[in-house]
Amino acid sequence: MKRPNSSMQLTRAADYAVRVMVQLAASPKEQRVLLPDLAAVTDAPESFLSKVLQALSHEGLIDSKRGHSGGFQISNRGRRASMREVIEAIDGPIMLNSCLISGKACPRSSKCPAHPVWERAQMAMLNVLSQALISELALQHVQPLYSLQAIGSAS
């Protein structure tokens, strides 16, 4: 019955989404980043990351452009997003227990003393994830992908 480390855990897709959003937020405005470079810096398999990027683009958190000057770029909405928004864009609403699904009152909630504990646990976690803004995380030790190469080629 024990399934260590499997339940209550973020999906790999959402984990990669946070990594890639932070990396894109660290890139200079107007610069587009290529998929292989994003895959390398986020330690994500390229084909899987491609699907994550599609989903982020679909949710308006990044812009993608095909062709010679193409690549991925964070959108203005993405720059203002929190970790919670990025995770929920990929995984859907975070709910620690199915009794918390909004719009569908749990029939046990009036008599279940665990229900308010789940609400408090969920709120405590979501507060942390909502306060962590992608643009602020990007200011912490994250190197823009192409700056070192640009300096290298200029010297």
Selected range binding a second copy among 31-39, 64-72, 73-81, 90-98, rule: CB under 8 A: 90-98
Q: Nearest approach, Cβ of 68 to a second copy (angstroms)? A: 28
C-beta neighbour count of 118 within 10 angstroms: 18
Selected range binding a second copy among 27-35, 60-68, 70-78, 119-127, rule: CB under 8 A: 119-127
- Assess 147 for contact with a second copy (CB under 8 A): no
Distance CA 21, CA 83 (A): 9
- Name the residue nearer to a second copy (CB basis): 18 or 24: 18
Kindly calculate the radius of gyration of the chain based on its CA atoms and give it in whole angstroms.
19
Stretch 15-54 residues interacting with a second copy (CB under 8 A)? 15, 18-19, 22, 43, 51-52, 54
Q: Which residue among 36, 60, 70, 92 contacts a second copy (CB under 8 A)?
A: 92
Pairs from 126-129 (Cβ < 8 Å, separation ≥ 24): 126/84, 126/94, 129/82, 129/83, 129/84, 129/87, 129/94
Q: Within 13 Å and on the Cβ side, how many CA atoms surround 154?
A: 6
- Assess 14 for contact with a second copy (CB under 8 A): yes
Distance CA 136, CA 139 (A): 5
* Cross-strand pairs, 33: 72
Q: Which residues bind a second copy (CB under 8 A)?
A: 1-15, 18-19, 22, 43, 51-52, 54-55, 83, 89-99, 101, 107-108, 111-114, 117, 120-122, 124-125, 127-129, 132, 137-138, 140-142
